[in-house]
Structure 1
Amino acid sequence: MMNSMQLLRQHCTTLLMISLVGVVLFGCKSLTTNDTVDYKSSGAVRGPNLSYPPDLITAQADRRYIVQDGSATMSEYNAAVKKSVQTRNNVMTGIPGMRIARDGERRWLVVEKPAPELYPQIKDFWQENGFLLVIDSPSTGIMETDWAENRAKIAQDFIRKALGGALDSIYDTGERDRYKTRLEVSSPNQTEIFITQRGAIEKCVSDNSGACNSTIWTSRPNDPELEAVFLARLMERLGMSQEMAKAQVAAPLDLKAPKAKLIQEGVNTAHIEMALGFDRAWRDTGLALDRSNFTVEDRNRANGIYYVRYVNAKDLGDTKGFFTNLFSSKDDSSLKAKKYLVVVKSTGDNSASVYVQNADGKPENTAAGLQLLTLLTEQMAR
């Protein structure tokens, strides 16, 4: 169901149509979702999200990883696009040994190439699909896009067909997506590529009378199908045919019983037990972090450590909304994320445990530590 702000946009469009062509409309067509994904239709060259609510602006990313304040001149952009096209033409022969791997409902891409060779191609891939990167870290193999709107979710109704793109700014899905890509080196000449999606939705805030007088942005559930779409597109970008890429991604998922269990030993003392060997436990922990409200700053696979930052919106005591708390642009120390260590330890050939430590490497035996482990367990159990 559309919220009041979306209804207002639709009615404004209807009134404008009446004034232009004198046609009396008997209703507004609601938004529908189709099978296409298009984050570029509102303009091939995307600048900073000045038209988006300020609480969707990321302020937590390390400045070392932000791409030139998220903007570029037209000439710089055109030069980058030309370079990307040339790069694409050079890789259309494909990469041998590229395949989709899966475990339960999780999918990821395995490529027989070193990560340093793949990273620039994947960066170009996201830019070609209409995204800006707010995190771009070749040294850690992590990149993350800005929030973007999937314009394919907007129905091509009578009004839009009549007036073309002139009214694009009036139509809005009330949803935003961002994507994180993480490259893991599984062997010197083999790279695992993980794509995870996070979503936001615009919701009404009602006053005492029940009327919707404002909106806030809040998180919405992760969508594995959107992740699958971009895995298939990335395979095409790296040289696989569209038919083969879609067939690999569309293969039935092998849904299994949950492999993670939260073990609570005291009031705030807990850890996660996983019925997996270290390699799979490390991978599942990384995916759980990517899909949750964590920022992975660095990782040390040899020691089983993810260095992360986390913002707990509930602890901020603010009613402005999830993204106001999480992505506030104010330089307020109370809004800065806390640093933690998420440690994966092997306890046997097919077992591992996950612990949360504070920035000093000591056990985080607090309510916050228990909450972080609970969030990770929920993601791992999917």
Structure 2
Amino acid sequence: MASLTGCGMISSVVGTDKVDYKSAKKASTLDVPPDLTQLQKDNRYALPETKSGIATASGYNAQRGAAAPAMAAGNQDVLASGKDVRVERAGNQRWLVVKQAPELLWPQLKTFWEDSGFTLALDAPTAGIMETEWNENRAKIPQDFVRNTIGKVFDSLYSTGERDKYRTRIERLPDGSSEIFISHRGAEEVVTGSQKDGTVWTARPNDPGLEALFLARLMTRLGAGDNAQAKTAVDTAIVQPLHAKLVGAAATRAIEVDEGFDRAWRRVGLALDRVGFTVEDRDRVQGTYFVRYVDPDEAKKTDGFFKKLLSWGSSDKDKEAQRYRIGVKAGAGSSSLVTVLNNDGKPETSATSEKILVLLNEQLK
């Protein structure tokens, strides 16, 4: 109890870095059918080519040593320096701005999540969205004597009753650099029934602390200092004076955001990720996100609600999910308007539309 209380008293938004998602399954080794050409073997153990004229091990090593600087020079654009990565913040939302093109960052992001213990459920570079599978933070399991003894053999008997998944969104800026957003979704197993003999998975609020933690780790991976420097940068990010409010009524109901289209467009995309919408497509030129949304009040009346919830980003077409369009357009002065449209592109005036606007407004204000 004392240790749990101590964890909750940490003031840093990054909080404790005790996360362990290494239990995630790894991609299986690729098996090549016998009638196809086998993969090239690991060339680390290949003999030097005789045509190079090198006949000794020392000569071969000297040649490799001379080639190393050239290889390093060719990769100098892969890792950024501390000045090339910075944190921006609006409310409790934080994101990275990196002076690299999305094409260079994409493979680095994939490796980052795989090294963090996750497998990817969605890998869509054209849409700029990457999403992990649900996974358990094993670091939350108490490490007492019994757990350390029995858990080494029967590790699967222990569970936190919680699952996490993360979505990464990358946006290209006009100067060729990129903005990287990380959003978290959580789930927890709750006991149900009068006899407490059943369980059901339900959504739990997204955790800004976990989002900040992985942003800090990503900063370190991209070469922007060590862990301590990255945590400090995330914690001390200056809050930008951004505000949003609901305006209008009926067909003119909208969210007014006091920022230009470019920033409003990116923040709406992050808000959709954090709330849990499934973004099927987007058209920046028209300022439209094409989304699917399941009204929780309606979904609770049917079975399999959380199955739909857990399919965040799934390719399966959920028949119960309604399709909407989230419109973002420039308003008066430097403001922007966010509206909800039906699947035909006309103003949506239903009660569900109001719920969507309220959810987005909470993220944007």
Q: TM-score, normalised by structure 1?
A: 0.73
Q: 2:16 aligns with which of 17, 35, 39?
A: 35
Structure (1 or 2) with the larger CA radius of gyration:
2
- In the alignment, the residues of structure 1 paired with residue 239 and residue 356 of structure 2 have an alpha-carbon distance, to the nearest angstrom, of 27
Tell me what 1:7 maps to. none
What do the CA deviations read for 1:65-104 (whole angstroms, capped 9, x no partner)?
A: xxxxxxx32358xx9xx9xxx99xx579831411111122
Q: Does 1:228 align with 2:183?
A: no
Q: Which amino acid aligns with 2:192?
A: V
Q: How far apart in 2 are the matches of 1:111 and 1:125?
A: 15
Q: 1:346 aligns with which of 324, 330, 333?
A: 330
CA contact (8 A) 2:257 2:364 kept: no
Listed as ranges, the matches of 1:245-260 within 5 Å are 245-251=230-236, 254=239, 259-260=243-244
Tell me the equivalent position of 1:73: 28
Which secondary structure does the structure 2 equivalent of 1:303 belong to? coil
Aligned to 2:36: none
Unpaired stretches in structure 1, ≥5 consecutive residues: 2-28, 48-71
Percentage of pairs with the same residue = 45
Q: Which has the higher contact order (CA 8 A, sep 6+)?
A: 1
**Other structure's SS at 2:152 match:** helix
Distance 1:332 1:145 in 2: 16
Contact 2:22 2:118 (C-alpha < 8 Å) held by counterparts: no
Amino acid at match of 1:223: D
1:225 and 1:38 mapped to 2: Cα distance?
12
**220-229 vs 362-371, which moves further:** 362-371
Residues 333 and 160 from structure 1, CA distance in 2 versus in 1: closer, same or farther, beyond 3 angstroms?
A: closer
**Aligned: 1:118 with 2:105:** yes
Change (3 A) 1:357 1:310: same
Q: Which residue of 2 aligns with 1:238?
A: 222
Change (3 A) 1:321 1:218: farther
C-alpha distance after superposition, 1:19-48 (max 9, x if no partner): xxxxxxxxxx999968234343436xx15x
1:296-316 deviations in Å (ceiling 9; x for gaps): 222222322112122223223
Is residue 2:86 matched to residue 1:95? Answer: no
Q: 8 Å contact 1:110–1:193 — kept in the other structure?
A: yes
Alignment RMSD = 3.3
Alpha-carbon spacing, 1:37–1:301, altered in 2? closer, same or farther (3 Å)? farther
Hey, what's the Cα distance between the residues in 2 that align with 1:299 and 1:117? Answer: 22
* Cα distance change on mapping 1:182 and 1:159 into 2, 3 Å: same
- The alpha-carbon deviation at position 121 of structure 1 amounts to 1.0
Aligned to 2:203: 219
Q: For residues 225 and 219 of structure 1, do their structure 2 counterparts lie closer, same or farther at Cα, with a shift above 3 Å needed?
A: same
What corresponds to 2:362 in structure 1? 378
Partner Cα separation in structure 2 for residue 122 and residue 328 of structure 1:
22
From 88, 91, 94, the equivalent of 1:104 is: 91
What runs of 5+ residues in structure 2 fail to find an aligned partner?
8-14, 32-38, 43-70
Deviation at 1:152, TM superposition (A): 0.9
SS in structure 2 of the partner of residue 161 of structure 1: helix
Match of 1:137? Answer: 124
TM-score, normalised to structure 2, is: 0.76
Q: C-alpha deviations, 1:264-305, integer Å up to 9, x for none?
A: 513x76211122222232222112111112012222223221
CA–CA separation in structure 2 for the residues paired with 1:31 and 1:162: 25
Aligned to 1:310: 293
Moved more, 221-230 or 291-300: 291-300
3-state DSSP class of the match of 1:212? coil
2:340–2:353 CA contact under 8 A, matched in 1:
yes
* Alpha-carbon distance, 1:124 to partner: 1.3
Residue 325 of structure 1: how far off its partner (Å): 4.3
Aligned length: 314
Contact 1:262 1:377 in 2 (8 A): yes
Letter in 1 for 2:182: I
* SS of structure 2 residue aligned to 1:165: coil
